[in-house]
């Protein structure tokens, strides 16, 4: 019997991310970053307009509605401000005026906006790392929903993101269902109930796992059930970063995580399937993944930039 991955991968070369896919991935990220930068640029324009009304840096202290942006320009993040008292904030503003804005002379307003953008831009860069993961998850979500449509389901529920474990029944044929982010999916088909959850802390391995498939219904999903190794069917790692420079490091992290998962479940006499999905897969990395597929260390693998491969993994998960 041919391995399940053979319907879309016949060699390690089939896993390698193409030049065109890498370029397209960078374009998607650039567009997403530009879209998210618009509010930041608008804030900067408003700050410049307000600051230009002041005759000196000291007068900025009297413009109350820009104090938040002034603190940002002083190098303080929103998170850092939670640890600052009112007096601390006043001292930070005074240091901004004396050490940065006054030495800039007549260009103090431009210097202020430059400092503001420097800090906010760094924050945007940090948030983009989370966005990359979410974009990768969304692509996988769409493939999973399409696979469920093909399979036919009796019911399907979506788990809302956040701390509250709230499930909502959805119609997978609804064209807009993919527009809403979710933390997990639950479906019932052919008498089987399944739950797929993203970013689940698995008690047995004491680590966060990107994707876990469990043998239970959504209304039975809870902390106690997560502790039962017998309910786990599969676990996978999803790496959505497209930059080839980070590909090897992402695979090493995923490989270590998957090894830890396999060992933990084997020790409980309950081996489970493991799989890997990545957007940036280089040749050497692809050869190692292919080797793990052939010796059945990995049950499945796919390149996130290849729709056929993602569809194959999704159909496989829906059939487990």
Could you report the per-residue pLDDT of 47-81, keeping only the tens digit for each?
A: 999 999 999 999 998 888 999 899 988 888 878 88
Question: What is the overall mean pLDDT for the chain?
Answer: 87
264-284 per-residue burial string, b: 16 or more CB within 10 A, e: under 16: bbeeeeeebbbbbbbbbbbee
Give yes or no for residue 303 having a pLDDT over 90. Answer: yes
What is the chain's length?
Answer: 320
pLDDT band at 162 (very low <50, low <70, confident <90, very high): low
pLDDT value of position 19 = 93
Q: What's the pTM?
A: 0.79
pLDDT tens readout for residues 196-247: 999 999 999 989 999 999 999 888 888 888 899 999 999 999 998 888 888 8
Confidence category of residue 313, pLDDT binned at 50, 70, 90: very high
Q: Where do we find the tokens 């479906």?
A: 187
CA distance 38 to 227: 44
Neighbours of 3 (CB within 10 A): 12
- CA 63, chain centre distance (Å): 38
Q: What is the pLDDT of residue 254?
A: 93
High-pLDDT (> 90) share of the chain, % = 42
- CB 213 within 8 Å of CB 195: yes
Alpha helices by DSSP H, listed for 97-192, are 108-151
């Amino acid at each position: 019997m041919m391995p399940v991955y053979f319907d879309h991968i016949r060699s390690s070369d089939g896993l390698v991310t193409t030049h065109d896919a890498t370029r397209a991935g960078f374009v998607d990220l650039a567009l997403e970053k530009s879209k998210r930068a618009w509010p930041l640029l608008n804030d900067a324009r408003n700050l410049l307009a307000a600051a230009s009304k002041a005759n000196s840096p000291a007068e900025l202290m009297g413009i109350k509605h820009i104090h938040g942006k002034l603190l940002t320009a002083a190098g303080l993040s929103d998170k850092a401000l939670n640890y600052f008292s009112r007096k601390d904030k006043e001292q930070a503003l005074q240091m901004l005026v004396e050490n940065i804005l006054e030495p800039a002379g007549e260009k103090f307003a431009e210097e202020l906006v430059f400092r503001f953008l420097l800090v906010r831009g760094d924050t945007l860069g940090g948030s983009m790392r989370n966005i990359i993961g979410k974009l990768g998850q969304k692509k996988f979500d769409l493939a999973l929903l399409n696979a469920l449509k093909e399979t036919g389901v009796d019911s399907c529920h979506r788990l809302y993101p956040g701390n509250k474990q709230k499930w909502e029944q959805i119609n997978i044929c609804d064209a807009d269902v993919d527009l809403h982010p979710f933390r997990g999916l639950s479906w019932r088909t052919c008498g089987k109930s399944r739950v797929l959850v993203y970013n689940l802390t698995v008690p047995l391995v004491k680590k966060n796992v990107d994707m876990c498939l469990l043998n239970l219904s959504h209304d039975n999903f809870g902390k106690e059930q997560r502790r039962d190794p017998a309910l786990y069917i599969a676990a996978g790692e999803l790496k959505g970063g497209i930059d080839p420079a980070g590909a090897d490091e992402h695979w090493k992290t995923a490989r270590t995580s998957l090894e830890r998962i396999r060992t933990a479940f084997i020790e409980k006499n309950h081996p489970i399937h493991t799989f890997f999905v990545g957007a940036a897969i280089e040749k050497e990395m692809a050869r190692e993944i292919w080797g793990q597929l052939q010796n059945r260390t990995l049950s499945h693998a796919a390149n996130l930039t290849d729709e056929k491969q993602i569809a194959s993994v999704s159909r496989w998960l829906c059939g487990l």
